[in-house]
Structure 1
Amino acid sequence: MSAPPAPGFRLYLLRHAKAGWALPGQKDFDRTLGDAGLVEAEIVAEMAADRGFAPELILTSTAVRCLQTAEAFRRAMGENLDIRDIDALYEGAADSYREIITGQGSLASLMVVGHNPAIEEILREILGERVAAETIPYGYPPGALAVIDFHDRPQAGILPPARLVAWLDPECHDG
């Protein structure tokens, strides 16, 4: 039996893990992961590594909680994992996320670590409402990772329909 064909492009959508409450006078941007979030980030990173899910590049919001979530993947997948932070992923809407995703050239795979509601909106756009509602009936949980394969490469701000390959939720530990 032959292996299934490689996807045209694989996208990993990761919402940052659970953040702690802001300290008095602290900006939202500077919020760190809470204790539960630190554990969640490690769990989902290990789940992904165990399944061989490894992006070529991670693009992350510059918010501290996203940077911490992305670093868990570096620990699980190796120091050579390319992680780049992008300011537009902090306050950007789904349109910004879409432009960033489609602007990455010839990569075979990309992980985006970001925030709701943009992460959820992109997932719903790519998978369609029915599949998205089955996958995230209560919204996109913190620390969860969607692994999505595209037959056709996204381009010029357009994310074509795609297929959910895996859903890794650190709360479930069973992906």
Structure 2
Amino acid sequence: MKTLTLLRHAKSSWDDPVGRDFDRPLNARGRRAAVTVGRHLRGQGVSFDYLIASPAVRVVETLDGFASGYGPLPDVVEDRRIYLASAATLLEVVQGLPASVERVLMVGHNPGLEDLVLALVPDGTEGLRDAVEEKYPTASVAEMRFDASDWAAVRPGGATLTRFVRPRDLDPALGPDAVGT
């Protein structure tokens, strides 16, 4: 059984004058959300034995905050293919993961992460999939399980969505209508 957890980077700052989208940092609410989500997953007993992430600044800062709430994480494997990737590219990254790892945390961007969940989880499964389809907000986490012994066997429609957590589910002040963020 393989478990893939997708973490969308936390809320970034559009006010910070950076030359490239790649260099955009988190804003204050994003930093709080990353810590909150990390703390929540630690409290739920979620664990990872492999971590792969986009090298974008907002992802690096999300992981810093996440680790502050979660605790020690596996060493980060940065993969530039994850930066603003399509679901098809992300699926190729997943299929190329080492067969020896069981619980992977992938940190990246939308719309690729949301599209990947919707491709991997069969249509017609209600509840969590509907929530992902509605919106996959920043700092949200989707956890999927696969009845596979090797990541190369992961195919569209082959996942069970076991968890979808948005920051606002944990703290309403981290939601879209929060004041002073």
Q: Offset at 1:97?
A: 0.9
Q: How big is the alpha-carbon RMSD for the aligned residues of Structure 1 and Structure 2?
A: 2.0
1:24 and 2:24 are equivalent in the alignment:
no
Deviation of residue 22 (structure 1)?
5.0
Between 1:141-150 and 1:124-133, the stretch displaced more is 124-133
Q: Could you tell me which residue of structure 2 aligns to residue 76 of structure 1?
A: 69
Q: Supply the distance in 2 between the matched residues of 1:133 and 1:77 (Cα, whole angstroms).
A: 25
Residue 14 of structure 1, aligned match among 7, 26, 39:
7
Give the structure-2-normalised TM-score. 0.83
The alpha carbon displacement at 1:26 in A equals 2.5
State the shift of 1:9 in Å.
Answer: 0.2
Query: How far did 1:160 drift?
Result: 5.1
Instruction: Choose from 110, 115, 118 the match for 2:109.
Output: 115
- Which residue of structure 1 aligns with residue 118 of structure 2? 124
CA contact (8 A) 1:150 1:160 kept: no
Gaps of 5+ in 2: 172-181
Structure 1 distance, partners of 2:9, 2:148, is 27
**What is the TM-score of this pair, normalised by structure 1?**
0.85
CA separation of 1:128/1:46 partners in 2, compared to 1, >3 Å: closer, same or farther?
Answer: same
Distance 2:135 2:73 in 1: 33
Structure-2 separation of matches of 1:111 and 1:81 = 9
- 5+ long unaligned stretches in structure 1: 1-7
Q: 1:137 to 1:124 in 2, by over 3 A?
A: closer
Q: Aligned AA for 2:158?
A: P
More displaced 10-residue stretch of structure 1: 159-168 or 120-129? 159-168
More displaced 10-residue stretch of structure 1: 67-76 or 129-138:
129-138
Partner letter of residue 155 of structure 1?
A
**What's the % identity of the aligned pairs?**
28
**Which region of structure 1 is more displaced relative to structure 2, 153-162 or 102-111?**
153-162
Contact residue 14 and residue 145 of structure 1 kept, 8 A: yes
Aligned pairs, number: 167
Q: Say whether residues 1:51 and 2:44 are aligned partners.
A: yes
